[in-house]
Structure 1
Amino acid sequence: MNKLRELAPKSIRHKLMLAAITCILVPTAFTLIIYNSLTQEAVKHQAITNADDSLQLVNGAVTNRLKGMLMIANYVQVNPGLKAYFKLVASGNEDKDPYQRFMNANRVLEQLDSLTVAGEQSYVTVLLNNGSYFMNYSVSDFNPGDLERKPWFEELTGLRGLDSYWIGAEETDFSYDKFDHPYQVTVARTLRLDSTEIYGYVAVTIMEDQLHGIFDNLSGGQKVVLLDESGMIVSSADPNSLGRPFPHSEAIAGMKGTSVLSIKGEKFLVAQQPVSSVGWKLVLMQPYKDSIVNISSIFNRVFVIQLLSFVVFLLLLITLVRAFTQPLMRLGKATTAVQRGNLLVRSGVRGNDEIGRLGFLFDQMLDRVQEMISEVSDTQARKRKAELKMLQAQINPHFLFNVLNSIRMKVMKRGDPESAKMIGSLSMLLRMTISREEDEIFLHEEIDLVSHYVGLMNLRQKEEARLQLEIAPEAFLIKVPRFFLQPLVENALIHGLSQQPGLICITAAMKEQVLVLTVQDNGRGMNEDELAGISRKIAAGEDTASGKEEAKGSFSGMGLHNVVERMRMLFGDGFAIAVRSKPGTGTVIEMHIPYREEQHDV
């Protein structure tokens, strides 16, 4: 152990070099060990992302094509003109004039033709219950009446409203397209009267290769199939698989999103996404080795560049550490000299970086220490002189109270008891305010102070406010913060009663080691907005009134906010306050003050 301690570097420069080499070599070695596993995971993630993106593009194109079919069916089903005409034909009340009937039918055919003129070819068929039909193709290609012989036609009677019935890949009915387009995909709906009675059907058909043509744009061995709800293949680049069960349904059963599956001993990247508004889904399959070939080569090149960068960075870091630590060495020597008591030494380190500023501040600190040593004695002397002058400037409170008492006695002798009472109450208030040094007083003393204050205010205003006290006997000797009730009573007089006659009731009772104290008035009260504003400010610790509002006609200049802050500072989270009020019924301020042993002194 001793030999190891001797071999350990002692200077900051050597420690930084060792730390730099360790911080470079250890991560490099660690990276080499785990890089392969991380690369494989990253490659897999990127391959999954690429597959999702490819399938998302296919899904968007397929969804748009199928939604185009739904839009055609929606137009036929909800267009007012077409609905009215089809209902008229289905009921047999069509115009008797042959020419007018021909013109009406021709207008319908023109509208059906216009539905697909700008996009891929779609075959629209409207079949009415009376055998009438309308379509945008020639009857020689396909007889619309043959729809009733389709095996799925009976399923249409169960549709409601805008429900659609999707028919997967089936052999093409249109003779003109059978050779080039052997399979078709159809969506069908019912046409109903207001009574929900079916009067006809609408079917929109496209060729299946319009869907699998979208898949041909994929590369890298990606193959996509479109499956219906039962797992039958609706569209695929392989025409022989259409209408048959998907051969890998069991392998992908229960799979969500995209993952790598082992199928018959070979890994495949499999992604699936639902096709909105149809109930079908798209499935993409790609050999896993084909999906990662390009990504793996990129990661291998990145690894080589990373390894070279580590070596170059290590050499550069060692050189820079030596240069950067030179000022620290000088600063360390200066610090050692100061520790020995030499306050005259200076480091002389300067520069625009942190070390240069540290050297400058270190030297400046030493200069300031010497200055402060000489200033401390001068500061203490000035402080003692200031305290002496402040004591000399104070007025003796007893002198003030004796003078007020003398004035009160003279006023009483002259027959003016109200003025004498007013002076006596003022003297009591001043005595409690400026002559008492303790922070807490008994509750009965605080009640006496409030009583004198209300009496003093009643002498100032024309009509008196009545003070009602309901104090439980066990609460009288509870100690409370001095001068905490006066601001609440002042608010009740000025804001609640608006200096008009009324009642202010103060109640106090002990409930489970908690002093519950309420101040209630029967004044004008507050609306919901005013009450919410005050409650919000109390909860946030904001002032509920501006300084100017508190100063005007106020005895203490201390409002509800100050009281709440004092109580929270003294009692912490145990203190609670609630304000309740309604317009015309007055305001109630309820405080819960936790009981402490030192609050009850007999």
Structure 2
Amino acid sequence: MLGRLREHLLSQSIRNKLLLTAIACVLLPAAISLLTYNALTQEAVQRQAMSNAQDSLQLVNGSVTGLFKSMLNIANYIQVDADMNSYFKIINAGGSVSSEPYAAFVQEKNILEQLESLTVIGDKSYVTVLLTNGKTYTNYSTSDYNPVKLTREPWFWELDKLRGFQSYWVATRPTVFSMEKLDNPYQISVARTLRLDNGEIYGYIIVTVMENQVNAIFDRLSAGQEVMLVDRSNRILSHKDRNRIGQELEYQFPEHGGSAGSAVMKAGEAQYLVADQFIAFNDWRLVSVQPYKQAAVNISSIFKRVFLFQLVSFFFFLLLLITLLRAFTKPLVILGKVTAAVQTGNLDVRSGIRGQDEIGRLGFLFDQMLDRVKQMLAEVSETQARKRKAELRMLQAQINPHFLFNVLNSIRMKAMRGGDQDSAKMIGSLSRLLRMTITNENDDIHLHEEIDLITCYVELMNLRQKEEVELKLDITSEAFMIQVPRFFLQPIVENAIIHGLGQSRGMIAVRAVKLDGAFELSVEDDGNGMNEEELDQLRRSIHTYHDGILHGREELRSRFSGIGLPNVMERMRMVFGDGFRMDVRSRQGNGTQIVMRIPERGKASDV
């Protein structure tokens, strides 16, 4: 079936192929995207619902934290106020702030007024300062509740473990204040210790608020969520339903490092969105519970409307795509008919398609191509004729060097027949040198070919001067095969013969060896050498050579060729880069040595 479908598609016109391909490329990804979008909608809805729940719970957390912070501020004030602490210490020690009873009464009244003023603004708080000698100070009437009873509470002796500004948060307990029990059956407290400089406890601070002040915040800010305050053991501390206080929360949250968390949990047949956030001052946390459908209903409806809009838009733009593709591909249909006519041999047909887009330019160029076909046929014939002439000139260029070599060989044979062996040998060496120089078209040659060149050169020089120069070669097999520029050794050997040896008898040694990713090649003569001043000038000239000009002193020209060594340096640097090194070593009366470091091709050059 796939084979038949493939054959059917291949038999269609380019126009139909483009239409089918465009529809497939739009339809398949769009269908997959819509299905994927629909599948991921639930996940997106859940994430957004969790985010909304966290945002709402964050508002509640801020208000509850503010309430608890105000309780801590009261305790902080009493704990750090110097006058109040001095008074409490004196009273706890059994002393009196004044020997006069009235002054002592006034001082005590001032302390009570300070405690009362701490809760004038904001939510009502019950403040108790209980000294270890049994003396108490409160902002409420002791007839409403005797604060000494606090020492009988099971949590009271936990306060002895506190240090500094540490606080002990007392979980929700039945209200002890008789005036509050009817309307506010539960209370929440925070306690701290008052200590002497030696760390001994001399009193306690207990700040209490009604639990209703907490669940009132839940009703004001929760917006349809069921919000509660729970402790670390999941026991409910505050809830708008008083009957839930003290019960254990049925949802078990995974540990999430004390940060905010959200999850969708199942209870019975229904799903609930549960979010929690920790209170900053203790190990309690706020938990909100909301039916998941209720939390997600508004967000889900938005996703459904977006899905419907995408579906309608898809079909509309699909129809628009088909219409535009038919209009855009109409010139291609015309071009197809024109090419069919050209195939039959009709070179006079033209498409007439014009425009600024690619198809318009294609039609124009196609018509222009047909106009040039006849002209091109004539141009091809003319090109073939020129090609034949070029081939003849190339053959002639190849004949000229061979003619020169043949004439030199004829002269050499004639000199030999005439008994002039020296002339014959010189002509033979020159012929070999020219042949190696002219016939090889490559710029780079192997080192062994360069050695052959300088060998012929030394032979020629020995024939033209009175005393012979001995050429010694010490080259490893690896070095023989390295690629080097043609004729780079000849200027160095020429300097050694003419200037180093002074065209007298002597020895020139050429050595090459491989050392650590490079080849060291040296040319050494046993001539007169140079003094330090001449050596320094030569070294500077090698590194200051530019555009074929030697920037050294004129007397150097009497010792070495004006452009020989600098030219070699420049050529080798162009081929091998900065990895190439050249050094000149010489001493007066002990000869001269040119040492070159040639990096291997493909190796990183040294810096």
Q: 1:7 to 1:115 in 2, by over 3 A?
A: same
Q: 1:105 to 1:58 in 2, by over 3 A?
A: same
1:402-481 matches, within 5 Å, as: 417-423=531-537, 427=560, 430=566, 433-434=569-570, 449-450=582-583, 452=585, 480-481=597-598
Return the alpha-carbon distance in structure 1 between the equivalents of residues 85 and 252 of structure 2.
44
Gaps of 5+ in 1: 382-395, 411-415, 457-476, 483-566, 578-590, 592-602
Per the alignment, residue 80 of structure 2 pairs with 78
The CA deviation string for residues 113-151 of structure 1, in whole angstroms up to 9 with x for no partner, is: 343333222222222222333333333333332322222
Q: 1:439 to 1:128 in 2, by over 3 A?
A: same
Deviation at 1:69, TM superposition (A): 1.7
Kept after mapping to 2: 8 A contact 1:260/1:268: yes
Identical pairs, percent: 46
Give the SS at the match of 1:321: helix
Return the alpha-carbon distance in structure 1 between the equivalents of residues 565 and 112 of structure 2.
100
Per the alignment, residue 122 of structure 1 pairs with 125
Per the alignment, residue 252 of structure 2 pairs with 252
1:276 is the counterpart of 2:263: no
Q: Who wins on radius of gyration, i.e. which is larger?
A: 2
The CA deviation string for residues 495-545 of structure 1, in whole angstroms up to 9 with x for no partner, is: xxxxxxxxxxxxxxxxxxxxxxxxxxxxxxxxxxxxxxxxxxxxxxxxxxx
Give the SS at the match of 2:98: coil
Deviation at 1:278, TM superposition (A): 0.8
Return the alpha-carbon distance in structure 2 between the equivalents of residues 124 and 46 of structure 1.
43
Kept after mapping to 1: 8 A contact 2:174/2:186: yes
The CA deviation string for residues 42-86 of structure 1, in whole angstroms up to 9 with x for no partner, is: 333333332222222222222222222222222222334433443
The CA deviation string for residues 267-312 of structure 1, in whole angstroms up to 9 with x for no partner, is: 2222222222210122222223333333333333333333322222
1:367-382 matches, within 5 Å, as: none
Q: 1:432 to 1:178 in 2, by over 3 A?
A: same
Deviation at 1:14, TM superposition (A): 2.3
Of 139, 152, 164, the match for 2:155 = 152
Kept after mapping to 1: 8 A contact 2:92/2:133: yes
Per the alignment, residue 210 of structure 1 pairs with 213
Per the alignment, residue 318 of structure 2 pairs with 314
Deviation at 1:186, TM superposition (A): 0.3
Kept after mapping to 2: 8 A contact 1:52/1:258: yes
Per the alignment, residue 478 of structure 2 pairs with none
Deviation at 1:89, TM superposition (A): 3.3
Deviation at 1:434, TM superposition (A): 3.9
2:220 aligned partner, one-letter code: N
Q: TM-score, normalised by structure 1?
A: 0.59
2:171 aligned partner, one-letter code: G
Of 175, 197, 202, the match for 1:199 = 202
1:76-155 matches, within 5 Å, as: 76-97=78-99, 98-155=101-158
Deviation at 1:184, TM superposition (A): 0.9
2:310 aligned partner, one-letter code: Q
Give the SS at the match of 1:231: coil
Deviation at 1:235, TM superposition (A): 0.3
Per the alignment, residue 303 of structure 2 pairs with 299
Kept after mapping to 2: 8 A contact 1:125/1:134: yes
Return the alpha-carbon distance in structure 2 between the equivalents of residues 361 and 69 of structure 1.
88
Q: 1:324 to 1:199 in 2, by over 3 A?
A: farther
Give the SS at the match of 2:220: coil
Return the alpha-carbon distance in structure 2 between the equivalents of residues 57 and 305 of structure 1.
35
Give the SS at the match of 2:108: helix
The CA deviation string for residues 382-410 of structure 1, in whole angstroms up to 9 with x for no partner, is: xxxxxxxxxxxxxx998899899989999
Deviation at 1:221, TM superposition (A): 5.0
Kept after mapping to 1: 8 A contact 2:9/2:17: no
Kept after mapping to 1: 8 A contact 2:126/2:139: yes
Deviation at 1:570, TM superposition (A): 4.5
Return the alpha-carbon distance in structure 2 between the equivalents of residues 423 and 345 of structure 1.
77
Return the alpha-carbon distance in structure 1 between the equivalents of residues 353 and 572 of structure 2.
59
1:265 is the counterpart of 2:401: no
1:285 aligned partner, one-letter code: V
Per the alignment, residue 21 of structure 1 pairs with 23
Q: 1:136 to 1:175 in 2, by over 3 A?
A: same
Q: 1:324 to 1:138 in 2, by over 3 A?
A: farther
Kept after mapping to 2: 8 A contact 1:129/1:199: yes
After the TM superposition, which of the residue ranges 158-167 and 99-108 deviates more from structure 2? Answer: 99-108
Deviation at 1:188, TM superposition (A): 0.5
Give the SS at the match of 1:88: helix
Kept after mapping to 2: 8 A contact 1:338/1:345: no
Q: 1:318 to 1:434 in 2, by over 3 A?
A: closer
1:223-262 matches, within 5 Å, as: 223-242=226-245, 244-248=246-250, 251-252=251-252, 254=254, 257-262=261-266
Per the alignment, residue 48 of structure 2 pairs with 46
Return the alpha-carbon distance in structure 2 between the equivalents of residues 359 and 103 of structure 1.
110
Of 183, 187, 205, the match for 2:186 = 183
Deviation at 1:231, TM superposition (A): 2.3
Return the alpha-carbon distance in structure 1 between the equivalents of residues 281 and 338 of structure 2.
79
Return the alpha-carbon distance in structure 2 between the equivalents of residues 261 and 216 of structure 1.
23
Q: TM-score, normalised by structure 2?
A: 0.59
Deviation at 1:209, TM superposition (A): 1.0
2:80 aligned partner, one-letter code: V
Per the alignment, residue 571 of structure 1 pairs with 603
2:183 aligned partner, one-letter code: D
Return the alpha-carbon distance in structure 1 between the equivalents of residues 369 and 575 of structure 2.
42
Q: 1:404 to 1:366 in 2, by over 3 A?
A: farther
Give the SS at the match of 1:188: strand
Return the alpha-carbon distance in structure 2 between the equivalents of residues 338 and 18 of structure 1.
28
Deviation at 1:102, TM superposition (A): 3.9
The CA deviation string for residues 149-175 of structure 1, in whole angstroms up to 9 with x for no partner, is: 222111111112222111111122223
The CA deviation string for residues 541-584 of structure 1, in whole angstroms up to 9 with x for no partner, is: xxxxxxxxxxxxxxxxxxxxxxxxxx9x9535xx8x9xxxxxxx
